[in-house]
Structure 1
Amino acid sequence: MEQGKFRRKLSLLDLTLLGVGSMVGSGWLFASQTAATMAGAIAWIPWLFGALAVMLIGLVYGEMAAAIPRAGGFVRYPDYTHGSLVGYMIGFASMMAYSSVAGVEAEAVRSYASSYIPGLEITQGSATNVTLIGNLFQIALLVLFFLINYWSVQVFGKINTIVTTLKFVVPLLTIIILFFSFHPSNFTVNKATPGGIHGAMQALTAGGLVFSFLGFRQAVDFGSEAKNPQRDIPRAIVFAVLLSTAIYVLLQIVFLGAVPHDMIANGWQAISFKSPFANLMETLGLGWMAVIIFADAILSPSGTGNIYLAGTARTLFAWAKNGYFYSVIGKIDARTGLPRGALWLTLILSIVWTLPFRFSMWSGLVDAVTSATVMTYMIGPVGVTALRRTAPDLKRPYRLKGLHIIAPAAFICATWIIYWAGWQTDSLLIGFTLASLILYFAFMDKDAESRQRMKNEWKSGIWLIVYYLFIAAMSVLGSFTNTNVYHIVIPNPWDTIIVGVGGLVFYYWGVASALRVPRIADESEAEEVQGANYAGATDSSVQA
């Protein structure tokens, strides 16, 4: 395959809507109810914490992405700053988390489409199963996403802009309509906060709140295709998070206020709508609005799934460029400027996630996806701080003020989010990631040069392995453990305090463990190349 280059076609509006479009998907349709059952009347507060955490992480990545715009940057930056071991582990976690979302969103579309299209699901007793036609419907939807991405990035960007604009209308209309059914007394009902602060923490992951913000990374992943990445990437991240936060917080508040008082007489945990906002509209006698929400429930996840399929391809491309996957996945089609090999693999992985097994449904996967994705985000604050020391001459069009405060705060927030996912989720993700190191050693054992590189760089990655083990141990001992199996040894809030202090220690350990000379690859991935972005770079510090 002739090696091509990415095309710089995406504007600030395109990048912002990529972020908003991937955030406002199935999350807004489910998360308000799950947060209410866990945190009750204070369910709007964890939305603010989630937004703050994501904004801190996004600001940190904004500096790095503006200085080093790369396709799949979240996967490539750890390799630049900490070498192969960290780069591999972050890449593996990112691949698992990212590749699942397009398939899960396709599941959400199929679920809501079953209200209009008969034969997609069959109910047997209390269980609902997907039919063969339903599975084929999901696969057809993923193929459609694939074809949109396969044509060109410009077609993809324009279609996404249109879809995202339409996706704004229904949530905003929902907010306005439910405001007229608002009951302030709902915030003072008996058992108004069923889970208290602990429930609010748990809602961040298990409730799908942080999951609803994870799409902010799109501006970074599409960095090589932005018209003006140095200026637009940081702005797009900030705009996308702020817009999404406003929508989510308002949706949560009007949901809490519009639920009929008699339905929460015994507490918020009694709420169990199958389709929260649509069913709430039906309960309030607004059937026409319920129909609109059901229609949007097909459009919103479709738009998000389309974006994630494109973003996953960039992630796989980046992993291959780092040398941890087959080289054909790291090729760019010369005619279209797209990583078509990575797109094909993304399609296959997305279809696999839609096959019938435990984690293929939204409710079963959201906790794992959130924790796995944040496991890839927490390296950003460490990497950016390390680059300030190891690459002082790196040109930084956007230099984050207060990095010495924002970066450790972002790392601690990310650590808390991973921990709050609980033992059942963290044990699976951390165990699987550490077990995958077998593949790392296999790929790094291919030649003498790779073996020497692995030997030289393992010290830069040992902190991350210990960090994962620390989170796993606290997940067993703390208040987010599986109480059906283990006893809580460290109660709340002491467990959260210990995890926060431990996170700070690992942050500084990670910064100190960075490569003395970062391996920033100066690759001309875009057609409009402005030259090396590393002032005074030599062959030893910038590898082609």
Structure 2
Amino acid sequence: MGGKFKKTISLLDLTLIGLGAIFGSAWLFAVSNVASQAGPAGSFSWIIGGVIILLIGLVYAELGAALPRTGGIIRYPVYSHGPLVGYMISFITIVAYTSLISIEVTAVRQYVDYWAGGVLTKANSDSPTILGWLLQFVLLVAFFLLNYWSVKAFAKSNIIISIFKYVVPVTIIVVLAFHFKSGNFTVEGFAPFGFDGIQGAISTGGVMFAYLGLHPIVSVASEVKNPQRNIPIALVLCIILAAVIYTALQILFIGAIPTDMISSGGWTAIQDKFSLPFKDIAVVLGLGWVASLVVFDAILSPGGNGNIFMNTTARLVYAWSRNGTLFKTFSKVDKATGIPRSSLWLSLGLSIFWTLPFPSWNALVNVCSVALILSYAIAPVSAATFSVNAKGLEKPFKLKGMNIIAPISFIFASFIVYWSGWKTISWLLGSQLIMFVVYLIFAKYVPTDKVKLPQQLKSSWWLVAYYIVMLIISYIGSFGGGKGLIDTPVDLIIIAIVSLAIFFWAKYSGLPKAMIDNDDESPEEHAEHEKAEENPAH
């Protein structure tokens, strides 16, 4: 029996939830990355990224209101295309969220090193020393324990942190405005790396990563007052406000750099000169108090987000297990606290793992961004498929123009994957194809009671084809180690055509009837129901 959700969340509450999730570590690092990759034209990267994530977010708004589920991001593909597609999307989603936790603790370590005197980060590198890695490990364990003992401890730990998330970026905008030099936008050319630089910055510069905190708005969709009105307004408000703040931070950072520092090494050198951009620019300008404020916020904000996403990831692992394609032990919930503790253990282990091969924020952000967008990109496909195999699905919020928005958002998601480059795509999509083969090898253990394996395969070939095609285009493309056999705009035209074809293939190859269950329990509700079954009233 599913739990009932109370509609208590207002428009203001929902907007603050979204903004709170957005402002983590991204704004603390991305501006120097974007400047190095695109120059002053990188400001447009933030605007383009905002438009793309808005389209995907609107699709999630409809799904979240219609099917409020714990871990819905990995349950929707199961409903529309069956366990095999759900299994593959679950894997890439867990990769995304566990690496996201690692990103946040890495950000904390890199900024704490400002006060630690360089003992946490190796000289001339962003990689941690042994002491620095131990700090990251301790932070991850702390997040784990906060979530392990109670939901209340998790919630209380985020109240103070949220205040700084809004105050500090606005303070920096005001202060840097007094040091603005318009000549910086033309000293080395406005777009020194052309449109390729703008594209690359969206995926690998941290732009898309900065926007990928909107999932919490969708996850509470069933608890929102007047969802038809408030969900789309909150999504639009969050993205517009974030885009305005991010773009302003980018413009003012570029304008505040001493002009001779741009002339001496060009835009490419900015990332090295300002590896901790707002702290470094404050020091250069002699604003010690701003540098201290930034470092303090850089410890609190990413730390708060790491704590939030440790909680979220455990719920996603729980949902994957409830899908039937992950070991059942991960769907066990502690009856006293209502927390999926075994899922938390897995989340902790994976988040520790990601700090080993990817030691810095810059190294991790590309992996996380692509994994997240691959996970998010399934939403338009599932939404379109439900119009075929779940025509009677009740939708508290119905997105006008879904027939246009869904395929366009899928195409844009494909662009972001491509812009991340061959070096990232090759192993990330390659691992997805390996997971597909593993599923077939262990076919006798996979869930086939509701959907037989032949139907699961029929409903998943489009995803396999999509991964293979994206690998081929990336290999011959010009981003991140590609062979450079095709350039913009030819590459984007090919991706758009192929993505559109695969989108409609996916739309009409879903399950004959959507496999939607009525289980909208959270782990806490699941634990309560298990308690009730073991201790019935007499």
Counterpart position of 1:33: 32
Deviations 1:3-40 (A, max 9, x none): 99798698355554443233211110111111111111
Counterpart position of 1:497: 493
CA deviation after TM superposition for structure 1 residue 268, in Å = 1.9
CA deviation after TM superposition for structure 1 residue 89, in Å = 1.1
Structure 2 residue matching 1:360: 3-state secondary structure:
coil
Question: Which has the higher mean CA deviation after the structures are superposed, 337-346 or 289-298?
Answer: 337-346
Contact 2:325/2:447 (8 A) holds in 1: no
TM score, norm. by length of structure 2: 0.90
Among candidates 505, 513, 519, match of residue 523 of structure 1: 519
Alignment of 1:380-391 (within 5 A): 380-391=379-390
Among candidates 234, 238, 241, match of residue 239 of structure 2: 241
CA deviation after TM superposition for structure 1 residue 439, in Å = 3.4
Counterpart position of 1:423: 422
Structure 2 residue matching 1:458: 3-state secondary structure:
helix
Q: Does 1:296 find its partner at 2:294?
A: no
CA deviation after TM superposition for structure 1 residue 509, in Å = 1.2
Among candidates 165, 177, 180, match of residue 178 of structure 2: 180
Distance 1:454 1:19, change over 3 A: farther
Counterpart position of 1:99: 98
Aligned-partner Cα distance in 2 for 1:293–1:221: 30
CA deviation after TM superposition for structure 1 residue 233, in Å = 5.2
Counterpart position of 1:313: 314
Deviations 1:500-529 (A, max 9, x none): 121111111111111120000111405899
CA deviation after TM superposition for structure 1 residue 76, in Å = 0.5
Deviations 1:222-254 (A, max 9, x none): 567x46695665554434323322221111111
Contact 2:381/2:503 (8 A) holds in 1: yes
Counterpart position of 1:49: 48
Deviations 1:316-335 (A, max 9, x none): 11111111111121233333
Aligned-partner Cα distance in 2 for 1:119–1:451: 57
Counterpart position of 2:167: 169
Structure 1 residue matching 2:116: 3-state secondary structure:
coil
Counterpart position of 1:537: none
Among candidates 207, 210, 218, match of residue 209 of structure 1: 207
TM score, norm. by length of structure 1: 0.89
Distance 1:509 1:386, change over 3 A: same
> Which aligned segments of 4 or more residues in structure 1 are displaced greater than 6 angstroms?
3-10
Deviations 1:357-386 (A, max 9, x none): 3x2321111111111111111111111111
Aligned-partner Cα distance in 1 for 2:456–2:41: 46
Aligned-partner Cα distance in 2 for 1:511–1:63: 17
Distance 1:296 1:452, change over 3 A: closer
Counterpart position of 2:476: 477
Aligned-partner Cα distance in 1 for 2:453–2:196: 42
Counterpart position of 2:73: 74
Contact 2:385/2:510 (8 A) holds in 1: yes
Deviations 1:444-479 (A, max 9, x none): 422784596222221111011101111111111122
Distance 1:378 1:88, change over 3 A: same
Question: Which has the higher mean CA deviation after the structures are superposed, 77-86 or 106-115?
Answer: 106-115
Aligned-partner Cα distance in 1 for 2:395–2:237: 20
CA deviation after TM superposition for structure 1 residue 131, in Å = 3.7
Contact 1:444/1:451 (8 A) holds in 2: no
Counterpart position of 2:504: 508
Aligned-partner Cα distance in 1 for 2:340–2:232: 24
Contact 1:90/1:376 (8 A) holds in 2: yes
Q: How many equivalent pairs are there?
A: 520
Distance 1:55 1:158, change over 3 A: farther
Amino acid at match of 1:512: Y
Contact 2:324/2:447 (8 A) holds in 1: no
Contact 1:85/1:457 (8 A) holds in 2: yes
Aligned-partner Cα distance in 2 for 1:428–1:517: 34
Aligned-partner Cα distance in 2 for 1:28–1:403: 31
CA deviation after TM superposition for structure 1 residue 181, in Å = 0.9
Contact 2:97/2:309 (8 A) holds in 1: yes
Q: Structure 2 stretches of 5 or more lacking a match?
A: 527-538
Counterpart position of 1:542: none
Distance 1:286 1:393, change over 3 A: same
Amino acid at match of 1:301: P
Contact 2:422/2:481 (8 A) holds in 1: yes
Distance 1:18 1:151, change over 3 A: farther
CA deviation after TM superposition for structure 1 residue 442, in Å = 5.0
Amino acid at match of 2:182: P
Aligned-partner Cα distance in 2 for 1:424–1:345: 27
Distance 1:246 1:153, change over 3 A: farther
Deviations 1:413-456 (A, max 9, x none): 10100011111111111101111224323554227845962222
Question: Which has the higher mean CA deviation after the structures are superposed, 14-23 or 270-279?
Answer: 14-23
Identity of aligned residues (%): 42
Distance 1:452 1:383, change over 3 A: closer
Alignment of 1:104-143 (within 5 A): 104-117=103-116, 120-121=119-120, 123=122, 126-127=124-125, 130-143=128-141
Amino acid at match of 2:518: D
Structure 2 residue matching 1:424: 3-state secondary structure:
helix
Among candidates 157, 160, 164, match of residue 158 of structure 2: 160
Aligned-partner Cα distance in 2 for 1:499–1:143: 42
Aligned-partner Cα distance in 1 for 2:447–2:413: 37
Amino acid at match of 1:219: I
CA deviation after TM superposition for structure 1 residue 149, in Å = 2.2
Aligned-partner Cα distance in 2 for 1:382–1:18: 26
Counterpart position of 1:538: none
Contact 1:74/1:220 (8 A) holds in 2: no
Among candidates 143, 146, 151, match of residue 145 of structure 1: 143
Amino acid at match of 1:250: A
Counterpart position of 1:343: 344
Distance 1:268 1:298, change over 3 A: same
Question: Which has the higher mean CA deviation after the structures are superposed, 28-37 or 147-156?
Answer: 147-156
Aligned-partner Cα distance in 1 for 2:331–2:353: 21
Aligned-partner Cα distance in 2 for 1:8–1:443: 41
Q: State the Cα RMSD in Å.
A: 2.6
Aligned-partner Cα distance in 2 for 1:364–1:411: 26
Contact 1:181/1:257 (8 A) holds in 2: yes
Contact 2:38/2:197 (8 A) holds in 1: yes
Aligned-partner Cα distance in 2 for 1:523–1:312: 19
CA deviation after TM superposition for structure 1 residue 51, in Å = 0.6
Counterpart position of 1:532: none
Question: Which has the higher mean CA deviation after the structures are superposed, 126-135 or 240-249?
Answer: 126-135
CA deviation after TM superposition for structure 1 residue 127, in Å = 4.5
Counterpart position of 1:393: 392
Aligned-partner Cα distance in 1 for 2:176–2:343: 43
Amino acid at match of 2:306: G
Distance 1:335 1:240, change over 3 A: farther
Alignment of 1:325-474 (within 5 A): 325-354=326-355, 356-357=356-357, 359-441=358-440, 444-446=443-445, 449=448, 453-474=452-473
Counterpart position of 2:195: 197
Structure 1 residue matching 2:379: 3-state secondary structure:
helix
CA deviation after TM superposition for structure 1 residue 106, in Å = 0.8
Distance 1:128 1:517, change over 3 A: closer
Distance 1:367 1:123, change over 3 A: closer
Counterpart position of 2:533: none
